[in-house]
Structure 1
Amino acid sequence: MAIAIRDVREHELDSVLALNNAAGPTILILDSNRIRWFFDNADYFRVAEVEGHIAGFLMAMREGSDYDSPNYRWFCERYAAFAYIDRIVIAKPYRGLGLGRIFYADATSFSEVRVPVLSCEVFLEPRDDVSVLFHGTYGFNEVGQQIMPGLGKRVSLLAKDLPSFDFVRSTYLDGPTGQLPNQPWLAQRKRQGSAAPRRAAGGL
């Protein structure tokens, strides 16, 4: 079974929206305007394609966005530079195949050359032990909790240090060129809502 992780395409937004809204109670419902906002503004928005079908997606934001998520804002208030995983969804027929770990490995690879911290949250009410265990075994630690405004549900705020970023920063971002090498796997997706490409967080 061939699996491709790639940037989402505009014509796939309706399929991604349907997948999101069928995911269950731990994934907040979106509408067409909101999914379009993510397409225009997310720093990382990739899908898993399996035999021509969208099997899942992951969206992540860096610091400095006007995203109004209370969990994202929590990290903005405490971290100068980070990547925040807003949501990951795997379609039911493709669960149990390891796509979650593939996505997180890809998101980590994307993040560790740009920022020192990868962050996210998991619901504690109702407690999702599968998600808690998954994140714990992937190197995340709880750095706080909060009750989500409007939902009244407690979440655990998680962060994972990305030690490779120190090497990337000293060698490239603070080096002679001040930027990453020009390689396809290092490319930043072109965000429709931004006139200029996002730079890595050098000089912290």
Structure 2
Amino acid sequence: MSIVIRDVREHELDSVLALNNAAGPTILPFDQARLRYFFETAEYFRVAERDGTLVGFMIGVGSQAGHDSSNFRWFSERYDRFFYIDRIVVASRRRGGGVGRAFYADAQSYAELRYPLLACEVFLDTANDPSLPDPALLFHGSFGFREVGQQVMPETGLRAAMLMKDMCSYPWVRDTYGTQLPDVPWLAPPRAAAPRALATGTGA
């Protein structure tokens, strides 16, 4: 059956938390309080559903968000306007089945109308065999991301490759519509949460 990407629902937060904390070393854990904060404030918080089962989620925030992640701050210190993918998690049994690609296609279709850049990071030194190409870097490279730097996260000691992708449609949208996009259903933002300062905690 097809993959359905849609906004998260409040009653699904426990399932989202379980998915996140079972994802392994490439995803930082978080607790109920931090998940609740994302639910209330994240610009983009969507889940993937397949065969009626929740199989993944993605959280994203705009560059104006008060996000405390050191990786988000790294981008903020270097770029004025971007859409940041804080995390994407796919259930282990569904990896390789197209869920991640469906999420990135959905996030890009949202971001390219509103932001000139799409940003994310990939943790390095977590592969089982360091001699082989990193599958996460290969995945992101296939979507057009390029590495723009690296940093060691001060709160975790993990090294991350900082990735960016140009949103090629954004200049035309900006020059044609400014900030007033047409009022049509497919352009409606996935969430209407207003950003506010994020309490201190471990970010992604």
Judge which range, 24-33 or 90-99, deviates more: 90-99
Q: Could you say what secondary structure the match of 1:28 adopts? A: coil
> What's the TM-score once normalised by structure 1's chain length?
0.89
The alignment of Structure 1 onto Structure 2 pairs a total of residues equal to: 191
Q: Could you say what secondary structure the match of 1:4 adopts? A: strand
Deviation at 1:189, TM superposition (A): 3.3
For the pair 1:29 / 2:29, whether they are aligned, the reply is yes
Contact 2:119 2:165 (8 Å CA) reproduced = yes
**What is the CA–CA distance in structure 2 between the aligned matches of 1:189 and 1:102, rounded to whole Å?**
15
Partner of 2:187: 186
Deviation at 1:41, TM superposition (A): 1.4
For the pair 1:172 / 2:177, whether they are aligned, the reply is yes
Contact 2:20 2:29 (8 Å CA) reproduced = yes
Are the structure 2 counterparts of residues 136 and 190 from structure 1 closer, same or farther at C-alpha, using a change threshold of 3 Å?
closer
Contact 1:40 1:191 (8 Å CA) reproduced = no
Partner of 2:138: 133
Are the structure 2 counterparts of residues 51 and 142 from structure 1 closer, same or farther at C-alpha, using a change threshold of 3 Å?
same
For the pair 1:109 / 2:121, whether they are aligned, the reply is no
Task: Show structure 1 runs of 5+ residues with no match.
Answer: 196-204
Contact 2:42 2:195 (8 Å CA) reproduced = no
Are the structure 2 counterparts of residues 130 and 21 from structure 1 closer, same or farther at C-alpha, using a change threshold of 3 Å?
same
> What's the TM-score once normalised by structure 2's chain length?
0.89
Deviation at 1:11, TM superposition (A): 1.1
For the pair 1:155 / 2:156, whether they are aligned, the reply is no
Contact 2:7 2:191 (8 Å CA) reproduced = no
Alignment of 1:119-130 (within 5 A): 119-127=119-127, 129-130=134-135
Encode CA deviations 1:91-147: one digit per residue, 9 max, x unaligned. 122111111111101110000000000000001122581101001111001111111
Q: Could you say what secondary structure the match of 2:160 adopts? A: strand
Partner of 1:61: 61
Are the structure 2 counterparts of residues 26 and 194 from structure 1 closer, same or farther at C-alpha, using a change threshold of 3 Å?
closer
**What is the CA–CA distance in structure 2 between the aligned matches of 1:160 and 1:146, rounded to whole Å?**
18
Q: Cα RMSD between the aligned structures?
A: 1.5
Task: Show structure 2 runs of 5+ residues with no match.
Answer: 128-132, 197-204
Calculate percent identity across the aligned residue pairs.
57
Deviation at 1:191, TM superposition (A): 4.0
